[in-house]
Amino acid sequence: MAPKSKQRGNARGQKSSKRVKTKEEFRVNEEVEPVNMESMGHPEIYPLVLTTKTQEIFNCRVDEDFTDEEPYKLIKKQDILADFHNRAAVSDFYPVKKIVQEYPGDELLIVYDKDFKYGLNFYLIGTEDGKENYLNPPEVPEEQEEYKEFKDYFPEDIPVYKPPISKPWVSLGSEKEVEEESVKESTKQITYMISRKRSQFGAPIKFRDQNASSIKDAYIECTAYPDKNFTIKELEKDVGMQVVPQITDTSTQTRWTYPKNATTQYYPREFSEEEKEILGQSKPLTDFLNNASISVEIALQQNEIMNTFVDDWKSLAEEESSFGDKTDTHLKEYQSFTDLHSLTEKTITCVSWHPDIYGLIAVSVAVRLSFEERVHFSGKLLLQPSLILFWSFSDPIHPQLMLESPDDIFCFKFCPTNPNIIAGGCINGQIVMWDITAHAERIENIKTGGSRSKKATLKPMFLLEPDSNKEAMYIRHSAVSSIENGHKKVITDIHWLSDKFEINRMGSVFENRSEICCQLVTCSADCTICFWDIRPQKASTPQPAEKKKEENIEIPLDIPSTFLHLDLSWKPLSKIRLSKGETSLDHCPVKISLSEDHLLNKAQDKVLAQNKVVKAEEMNPYHNLESGLANILKPIEDFCTKFFVGTEEGEVIYTDWKLERDPDTGRLMAKKPVNLYTVHDGAIHTVQRSPFYKDIILTIGGWNVAIWKEGIMTGPLLQSSCAPRKYTSGHWSLTRPGVFYVGREDGYIDIWDLLEKTHEPAHSQNICITMITYITPWTFSAKQQFIAVADYYGTLHILEIPWSLSHPSGNEVSSISHYFEREVKHLDYVEQRKKIREQEKKEMELENEKKKVRTYQKSKEQLEAELKMDYDSYLELEKTILISLGLLKPTDTKPFIDVI
């Protein structure tokens, strides 16, 4: 390319630049690619031929604008682009048009090539780095400076050593030869990954030899198969051919070329009159009818008495399914709820079915942010309401009610004696109270396919009448606790105390004369457990001046005055801190389970049976609450005040809520925990008592599950192995005592059936693609049960529980009870064996000590005998020496020791 460009440039330099180019020349210029000096090690240099006309246009005339001191000139990029516009392909810069257009700077450097070093009279530097290196060359090395100074002192005829200067490497194709001669791997590397179960981490590995012929499945046969990597494609092949006559097999069939409609008429064949008379007089026929009539009558009677089309196998399967049959253990999705109106991404933190209205479920949502993100977006979060949503089966899109709170709710509970009263715990440590009595009619009239009776059946969605009122109701909270005197961190669990008793500041238990739930217990991540009373306290009765101030405060119409006396002044009745003993740290409770949880279940059943729903026009007992412990109440003796606590470190603590005074300081302090177990390897998410056995507790945390029995201090009755994924939530079955559900972080639910398996889940089912945050079942009727599953992405899944997981067998309660009793006996046996082993160990150590003493005495006696023997030999030698010297006579009886 370079020689051609030179010839063309010389030709244009000799002739006048006014010659008009033809279309062929334009086409040639368009096809020529810009040529650079990459082969000489200068890819940034592009040789050019500038005619006299071009030199005049850009003021770059030879011997005028270019000198030996400055053989270069900077030309503006805009001038060259204007030249392209005016002269098009006639422009001398047209071969480097692409380089000029893509040049990042505003000025391009043109250098006059006086010696035609690069083949033409000019060349263009196409990069900013090349231009900078040309205008500002690098400093001369010190060796060359010394060479210049040395040259000044010596004449020119004396040869002076010139150091070699490295030249740019010019590729002649040797790198291709090296690449062709290099050895490369043609096969792909095979990677093996060997994994083990989490339960086998750290277990020793033992290798052994075995005979492949004597053990089944001891070897793997590696059969041959064609490998495409080593398959050679045949380009030429020698094949022998021979001409043979061609044979073809053919077949034909007659075609119906004229189709038409045709029918065949059949007539019933009947006996004639003569044949009928003959058969009527036939004796064999009469005998047959007489014999068969009895069997036919019996069959007809059986058809009337029982249904012959009943599937007996199906009936037997239903009976067997209660013992853990796998044929019907799949949870069927019934409905799902998602808040489509929220602008932020939220997760579900707590779920609770309405205890009285069927088909109504409440969920609390929180923003999916970490602690650092919450601090960063705290200003924006204050503008968004924190809600508890009420969903109904009749409308999966629009919430029926929305309860507002000052911050995100992480736990809430309906009041057992009045479901219109709701208490919740916030992330900032405050307790919030709502009274939805004024909106009770709205949620009662929700169409769930029937009345609120258990006999009602849920209708399909397309049969429900559309709800005329689709506007969501926002309900403000009635009261919120004091920030200064409450919890300092997120409230992780909240419970109502039973309506059968109440406690004082010391934790003593008294009778509850009002028979309504008036006290709460909460636990928080600030290492405290607080008891709260919603009644006005006698000590905190406001003075008359304060009453006047409160009367002047205007109460909004949409806020009920039920708990106005608690708003921003509510303080806990008592606080408990679970100390770790020797250290100054405290246990961090996450979940608690009180001993009277079974009483709450009975109270809820009582409310459902009597159908007590407090309406707006009726008297609300919470409006006229007496002050806590205002009258002298009767104490309840022999009441169990101990409860279970699950901590953030995975510890299960059995402690007492009663306080005692420190003998040194006189301050009220929590008692030392009765027992502490470290079973779980992560934070505990579930601590729940069985609805069938009041002393059986289920705990879920980390990667395992444990079942405890109250009063057994030796350990859990059941402790599972490590699961493949971390557990996040769980719940007992409401109808089967041996079944409980456990949610995992990968969206699976493990269904445990203790009648079928006790070492692993009986069934696992995938529900969603993200972490399950909450699980709670609900019984709609004897034939229909549901379970609500909430996930991390804010979707609430309603699943229908199959027959096998909802209907217990006739003796399942006693079977599970016997299983727990056997486990208790097993723990006792293990403890006894431990004591026996310890006693045997002590006896063995005592025997070893005795053996050591006997061995020591024996070795001491042997050493003394050896020493004595050596001493006697020494005396005999001395006596012999004295006799030989004449100092002692052999017959002398005088001791020779005196002679010595």
What order of strands is seen across the sheet that includes strand 491-496? 491-496, 519-524, 528-533, 574-577
Reported as a single tens digit per residue, the pLDDT across 579-601 is 776 666 788 888 988 876 544 45
User: Distances from the Cα of 776 to the Cαs of 51, 519, 552, 656, 688, in angstroms?
Assistant: 90, 24, 45, 28, 12
Overall average pLDDT of the 35-49 stretch:
76
**Angle, vertex CA 503, rays to CA 597 and CA 425, nearest 5:** 60
Q: Which residues contact 520 (CB under 8 A, 6 or more apart)?
A: 423, 431, 494, 495, 496, 497, 531, 532, 533, 534
Judged against a pLDDT cut of 70, whether residue 629 lies above it is answered with no
Q: Mean pLDDT check: name the lowest of 357-371, 631-645, 692-706, 881-895.
A: 881-895
Give whichever of 79-93, 405-419, 880-894 has the largest mean pLDDT.
405-419
pLDDT category of residue 30 using cuts at 50, 70 and 90: very low
pLDDT for 309: 74
Q: Which of 254-258, 314-318, 323-327, 346-350 has the lowest mean pLDDT?
A: 323-327
Res. 348: pLDDT tops 50: yes
Average pLDDT on 822-851 reads: 89
Sequence-separated (6 or more) residues with CB below 8 Å from residue 366: 346, 347, 349, 386, 408, 409, 410, 427
How long, in residues, is the chain?
900
What value does the mean pLDDT take over residues 767-795?
Answer: 89
Compute CA distances 785 → 32, 186, 440, 743, whole Å: 81, 62, 25, 18
- DSSP H helical segments within 467-537, as ranges? none
Burial annotation 54-92 (CB, 10 A radius, 16+ → b, else e):
bbebbebeeeebbeeeeebbebeeeebeebbeeeebbbb
Let me know if 201 is exposed, middle or buried by CB neighbors in 10 A (0-12, 13-18, 19+).
exposed
Q: What pLDDT was estimated at residue 424?
A: 92
**Bigger pLDDT: 770 or 156?**
770
Residue 896 confidence class, pLDDT cut points 50, 70, 90? low
- Which residue in the block uniquely carries the two structure tokens 């995992």? 744
- pLDDT digits 0-9 by tens, 415-462: 888 888 899 999 888 999 988 888 887 777 665 443 443 334 444 433
666 pLDDT tier (thresholds 50, 70, 90): low
The closest alpha carbon to 778, from 352, 488, 289, 428, belongs to 352
Q: How much is the average pLDDT of 469-492?
A: 81
Q: pLDDT band at 350, cuts 50/70/90?
A: very high
Q: Say if residue 531's pLDDT is above 80.
A: yes
User: CA distances (Å), 145 to each of 139, 170, 719, in order?
Assistant: 10, 29, 85
Confidence of residue 609 (pLDDT cuts 50, 70, 90): very low
Separation of alpha carbons 873 and 308, rounded Å? 115
Max mean pLDDT among 57-66, 113-122, 836-845 falls in 836-845
Above 70 in pLDDT, residue 472?
no
Which of 139 and 788 is assigned the larger pLDDT? 788
Q: What percentage of the chain has pLDDT greater than the value 90?
A: 9
DSSP tag of 231: P
The whole-angstrom separation of Cα 842 and Cα 853 is: 17
Most trustworthy range by pLDDT among 336-340, 489-493, 600-604? 489-493
Please report the pLDDT score of residue 31 as a whole number.
Answer: 47
Q: Hey, what are 170's tokens? A: 């010019």
Q: How confident is the model at residue 2 (pLDDT cuts 50, 70, 90)?
A: very low
CB atoms within 10 A of CB 41: 12
Let me know: does 738 contact 751? Beta carbons within 8 Å: no
Is 355 a residue whose pLDDT tops 80?
Answer: yes
For residue range 799-836, what is the model confidence (pLDDT) as tens digits?
A: 998 888 888 888 888 888 899 899 999 988 988 898 89
Q: What is the mean pLDDT of the chain?
A: 77
- Given this model, what pLDDT does residue 25 score? 45
**pLDDT surpassing 60 at residue 28:** no
Q: What DSSP element (H or E) covers 591?
A: strand 589-593
Whole-angstrom distance, CA of residue 72 vs CA of residue 21: 29
**Residue-level pLDDT at 627:** 57
Q: What percent of the chain lies above the pLDDT cut of 70?
A: 77
- Of 570, 517, 565, 563, nearest to 542 by C-alpha is 565
Separation between Cα atoms, residue 642 and residue 708, nearest integer Å:
14
Nearest to 401 by CA among 446, 433, 356: 446
- Structure confidence at residue 787 as a pLDDT band (50, 70, 90): very high
The predicted model gives 846-874 an average pLDDT of 78
Q: According to the model, what pLDDT value does residue 631 have?
A: 58
Whether the predicted pLDDT of 743 surpasses 90:
yes
For residues 798 and 252, the model is more confident at: 798
Model's pTM, two decimal places? 0.57
Give the pLDDT band (50/70/90) at residue 166. Answer: confident
**For 378-402, what is the mean pLDDT?**
81
Task: Quote the CA–CA distance of 662 and 669 in Å, as a whole number.
Answer: 7
In this model, does residue 779 exceed pLDDT 70? yes
Q: How far apart are CA 434 and CA 476, in angstroms?
A: 7
pLDDT, average across residues 499-512: 83
Q: Which of 626-635, 715-724, 780-789 has the lowest mean pLDDT?
A: 626-635
885 or 348, which is more confident? 348
pLDDT band at 387 (very low <50, low <70, confident <90, very high): confident
Binning pLDDT at 50, 70 and 90, where does residue 695 land? confident
More confident site: 158 or 302: 302
Three-class secondary structure of residue 817 per DSSP: helix
